[in-house]
């Protein structure tokens, strides 16, 4: 080896060691940075002429793309399950469980008890007042459940709008990064930082909509939803959505009163069965707004209808005239079976017996259609009300099947269905959470290992010292030659 070739080899070694130490320092500094992948320097022996040395081929990012892809899908599933579980927990909190006094079932039981107490002393005004107030609490509890459902649908609609805005921005940012990465690769520049940024954005997108990443030329990628929607392939897709200020029980995606999704102006399916963007937090909000909440609305409306029907019959209260509202009303009027949707929002205690609305509670004893108080010791109507409440009958709306149920049985069935759904969703959430946690841990294990990096730094320092010693030796040789 000539002196010049030795000097050239040492200089190239110093340059490689310098860049390698910079990468190690960068790795350690970014050990906790989201999306950061550890880098190493790709080296090979130089074959230029007879000078020898080391050649720097570029920077290599180290990450397991299969683990990353699995973690993204797990993230979407976790977000989806967490969102639907939160909704079911929210509704269960509003309805309450049968063992809670303030729950729907508890208020029904309190109303039944108030009727029994009043029938034992029909002359006691305070017991009649307590019965009327208990009935009013029951009606308002049904209103609260319906209002909670409406609020959940409104919140879901607003969340969809926010997520669509963020999704569109993230897709545009990925498109810009694709272009920057292409430019960096063409110019032989290191694009590792750009790749890190793109990875973070794709992770965020995959939580909203589960995506598959396909490699394209010059380091670019295409994004497809797992449902088959094209989100980015060259150009970013434009996802469209029109939010509503308030979502009422009468609004639905089927009648066009609620917005669906479009991709580049083309409508896409948003159902939980085969929606193109289903599976992440965006799909979960659509499921809440268009499926879960309307189903709960149907069930609470059926309960409200059954409660009104039980006390609207002249067989229960002979003083009622045809078409006159009974103890419970549809905003003060009689029940119209064709207007069941939203009935839970409208059910109220008849103002004729509501003491807070100027009503007279003696009508609970003598009849809502009575013109004057009757025998204060007659508990016939109060007993009839109690029997009507506990009578087992098949709900005419069929939302609870064909089994004969009492009013308490319907409320218990509703609580049971919500509780069962919530429990099942919590179990699925636990599985999704464990899967996401394990895959996240695996991805982190493939990230920066500071112990390994410090060991690499020691090797690099030794290489640097060795190359420096070669240069020092060459310098001594030149000085010796010059001194001859």
pLDDT digits (tens, 9 = 90+) for 215-269: 998 889 999 999 889 999 999 999 999 999 899 999 999 999 999 999 999 999 9
329: β partners = 348
- Burial (CB < 10 A; 0-12, 13-18, 19+), residue 71, is buried
Q: How confident is the chain (484 residues) per 10-residue block, as mean pLDDT?
A: 74 77 76 76 69 73 84 94 96 90 92 96 95 96 96 97 96 95 89 89 95 92 93 94 94 93 93 89 96 95 94 92 93 93 96 93 94 92 94 80 85 90 94 92 77 78 79 78 75
| 8 Å CB contact between 360 and 350 | no
Distance, CA of 48 to chain centre: 59
pLDDT of residue 274: 84
| 8 Å CB contact between 174 and 236 | yes
% pLDDT > 90, the chain: 63
pLDDT of residue 8: 76
- Three-class secondary structure of residue 431 per DSSP: helix
Q: Which one, of 393, 419, 396, 421, lies nearest residue 406 by Cα?
A: 393
pLDDT of residue 50: 56
Tokens describing residue 143: 């209103």
Q: How far apart are CA 40 and CA 21, in angstroms?
A: 10
CA dihedral sign, ordered 272, 278, 284, 290 = negative
- Burial (CB < 10 A; 0-12, 13-18, 19+), residue 484, is exposed
The H-or-E segment that residue 173 falls in is helix 125-186
Q: CA-CA distances (angstroms) from residue 415 to 106, 137, 177, 184?
A: 11, 18, 50, 59
Q: How far apart are CA 416 and CA 425, in angstroms?
A: 14
pLDDT of residue 47: 63
């Amino acid at each position: 080896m000539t002196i010049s070739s030795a000097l050239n080899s040492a200089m190239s070694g110093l340059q490689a060691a310098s860049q390698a130490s910079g990468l190690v320092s960068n790795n350690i500094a970014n050990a906790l940075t989201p999306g950061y992948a550890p880098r190493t320097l790709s080296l090979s022996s130089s074959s230029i002429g007879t000078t020898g040395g080391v050649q720097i081929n570029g920077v290599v990012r180290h990450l397991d793309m299969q683990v990353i892809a699995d973690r993204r899908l797990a993230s979407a599933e976790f977000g989806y399950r967490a969102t639907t579980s939160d909704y079911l927990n929210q509704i269960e909190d509003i309805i309450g469980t049968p063992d809670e006094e303030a729950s729907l079932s508890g208020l029904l039981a309190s109303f039944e008890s108030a009727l029994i107490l009043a029938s034992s002393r029909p002359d006691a005004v305070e017991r009649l007042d307590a019965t009327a107030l208990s009935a009013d609490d029951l009606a308002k509890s049904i209103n609260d459940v319906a209002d909670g459902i409406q609020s959940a649908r409104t919140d879901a609609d607003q969340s969809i709008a926010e997520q669509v805005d963020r999704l569109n921005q993230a897709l545009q940012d990925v498109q810009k990064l694709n272009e920057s990465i292409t430019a960096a690769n063409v110019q032989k520049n290191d694009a590792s930082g750009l790749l890190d940024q793109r990875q973070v954005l794709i992770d965020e997108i995959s939580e909203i909509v589960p995506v598959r990443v396909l490699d394209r030329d010059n380091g670019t990628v295409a994004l497809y939803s797992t449902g088959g929607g094209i989100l980015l392939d060259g150009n970013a897709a434009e996802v469209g959505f029109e939010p509503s200020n308030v979502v009422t029980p009468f609004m639905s995606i089927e009648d066009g009163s609620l917005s669906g999704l479009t991709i580049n102006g083309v409508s896409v399916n948003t159902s939980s069965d085969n929606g193109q963007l289903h599976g992440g937090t965006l799909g979960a909000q659509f499921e809440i707004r268009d499926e879960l909440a309307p189903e709960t609305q149907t069930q609470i409306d059926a309960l409200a209808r059954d409660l009104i029907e039980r006390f609207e019959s002249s067989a229960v209260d002979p003083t009622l005239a045809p078409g006159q509202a009974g103890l419970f009303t549809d905003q003060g009027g009689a029940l119209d079976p064709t207007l069941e949707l939203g009935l839970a929002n409208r059910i109220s205690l008849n103002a004729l017996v509501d003491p807070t609305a100027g009503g007279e509670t003696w009508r609970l004893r003598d009849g809502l259609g009575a013109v004057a108080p009757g025998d204060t010791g007659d508990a016939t109507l109060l007993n009839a009300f109690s029997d009507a409440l506990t009578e087992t009958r098949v709900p005419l709306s069929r939302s609870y099947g064909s089994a004969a149920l009492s009013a308490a049985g319907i409320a218990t069935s509703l609580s049971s269905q919500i509780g069962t759904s919530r429990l099942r969703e919590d179990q699925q959430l636990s599985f999704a959470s464990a899967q996401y946690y394990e895959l996240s841990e695996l991805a982190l294990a493939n990230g920066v290992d500071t112990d390994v990096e410090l060991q690499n730094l020691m090797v690099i320092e030794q290489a640097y010292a060795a190359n420096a010693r070669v240069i020092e030796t060459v310098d001594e040789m030149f000085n010796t030659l010059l001194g001859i």
